[in-house]
A and B are shown apart, each in its own frame.
Chain A
């Protein structure tokens, strides 16, 4: 699948391939080892973060799993 930054798609593909193998063969089977794809992830992530900044995609400031907390409620009841 394409990355939001065209130049990151190839890095993403490499990382995905590594991750998917680890996920199915190790993680789901309960093996305690950490994710071995971190190096690929950092390289890809660096690229995506730049693309996000360039495209001004508002990804910051939302707590993990808590989108509602950040939802503006200022005009509630007005």
Chain B
């Protein structure tokens, strides 16, 4: 379910695209928080290249976990936007993700933003994960994002593109969670079933081909031996 309020607003003199969305995961908060650390790689995270933990602190008194994660992501761009990236500059985007897990409150708050290419496009995201008030076995994600660009004369199309790409990555993130959560709970995700079926078909084809070749070979041998008999 999506509730999106795209809006334009003035923030410190720079035009910013604002996004607000709610997602529901049909797993309990503790399962989702566990999945949060195991979400990469998954079949929907091909745009995430590397993941590292830079900082981690356990606050034993109030039972919180503070973490900073560094991610490297691909920078998919439309043709018209490539001119803003010098050819010699690595296209990978470095992203920092700070998070606080509060076990008492059962919340996970994340702040995520890119640390390079931020003049061309800056994406800041804030997520709060919490137990669904109506169903304790579900977890709610409230996601806010701010997309801005400081490229003179092009900030608007860049922001539009940035927001569209952000939304498509949100869809992938949710699918990724569903995949990881299903795997944690021992269900074989559909994708794997499809892949298994594909593999089986390929294998059957190969076996059939091998059998055919073998039959040909045998027939040839038989023909040769027959010929030899006639000689």
Tell me if A20 and B33 are in contact (CB < 8 A).
no
Contact B12 A59 (CB under 8 A): no
Chain A 45-78 against B: per-residue CB contact (8 Å), 1 yes, 0 no? 1001000100001110010111110010101111
From residue 40 to 67 of chain B, which have CB atoms closer than 8 A to chain A? 40-41, 48-56, 58, 60, 63, 65-66
In the complex, what distance in Å separates the CA atom of A15 from the CA atom of B40? 15
Interface residues in B92-126 by Cβ distance below 8 A to A read 94, 96, 98, 100, 103, 109, 111, 113, 115-116, 118, 122, 124
Interface residues on B, range: 35 or more
Taken together as a complex, chains A and B put the C-alpha atoms of A45 and B40 apart, in Å, by: 19
* Chain A interface size, under 10 / 10 to 19 / 20 to 34 / 35 or more: 35 or more
Contact of A48 among B52, B66, B113, B150 (CB under 8 A): B52
Contact of A77 among B13, B50, B122 (CB under 8 A): B13
Asked if B68 CB lies within 8 Å of chain A CBs, one says yes
**What is the predominant secondary structure among interface residues of chain A facing chain B?**
loop
- Expressed in whole angstroms, the Cα–Cα distance for A20 and B48 within the complex equals 20
CB-contact partner of B53 in A33, A34, A41, under 8 A: A41
B22: CB under 8 A from chain A? no
B154-181 contacts to A, CB under 8 A, are none
* Given A2-B51, A3-B52, A73-B12: A64 in contact with B37 (beta carbons within 8 A): no
Q: With A and B bound together, what is the CA distance between A58 and B119 in angstroms?
A: 14
Ranked 10 nearest A-B pairs via Cβ:
A76-B13, A77-B13, A67-B113, A1-B40, A1-B51, A4-B50, A65-B98, A28-B30, A76-B12, A2-B50
- Which of A's residues lie within 8 Å of B, judged by CB? 1-4, 8, 12, 15-16, 19-20, 23-24, 27-28, 30, 32-35, 41, 44-45, 48, 52, 57-59, 62, 64-68, 71, 73, 75-78
